[in-house]
Amino acid sequence: LHLFDHNMRKIYLSLGSNQGSRLNNLQTACIEISNYALKINASSPIYETAPWGKSDQPWFYNLLLEIDSPYEPDQLLEICLHIEKKLGRIRKIKWDQRIIDIDILYFGDLVIETESLKIPHPEIQNRRFNLLPLVVLNPLLIHPILKKNQKELLAHCDDDLTCHLTTEKLNHDLL
């Protein structure tokens, strides 16, 4: 992997898990992310969320990370996919159960639309489990296409799936 220019951008990753030890899966994914010279600046609280898109499965633990990355967006996607695979993710059915899911929500104010990568993530404005932690981390962050901040997007979000805070916490000493 070659390094992106040294001008780091604010990047937001969404992590979700609904198989096995959900907290442990999130913790392990964060450790793996740290191992790639991706600096975790902040993490949201952990939310427990009803499954989105396919309801007949266990509830998710979700959290967001604000990171710095020396990599280009497509390289960061490859890293996320590699971490998912390393932790045992198998992709069969869209929106199905997963040990870990890592999505790039925002990469600074970049807008990218390729076959394999869409930034900002096209579903942010439709998912409470993305918007609630984004409002915690950066409520005034502007969506580069919709031109609304995260608080405004949350206020207009039609997603009525349950999404509540947990008392679970990452062990930041391990990161």
Rounded Cα distance between 47 and 119, Å, is 23
Q: Which candidate in 22, 89, 127, 128 is catalytic?
A: 89
∠ CA 140-40-152, nearest 5°, is 15
Q: Which of 5, 9, 96, 98 is catalytic?
A: 98
Structure-block tokens of residue 162: 């349950």
The residue annotated as part of the active site, out of 22, 74, 91, 101, is: 101
Quick one: DSSP state of residue 52? S
Please report the sign of the dihedral spanned by the C-alpha atoms of residue 25, residue 31, residue 35, residue 37: positive
Q: Which of 103, 127, 128, 159 is catalytic?
A: 103
Answer yes or no: 98 catalytic.
Answer: yes
Active site residue 103: yes
The span from the CA of 145 to the CA of 31, in Å, is 32
For the chain, give percent helix, strand, coil, nearest 5.
30, 25, 50
Q: Is residue 101 annotated as a catalytic residue, yes or no?
A: yes
Sign of CA dihedral 160, 106, 62, 168: negative
Q: Enumerate the active-site residues.
A: 89, 98, 101, 103
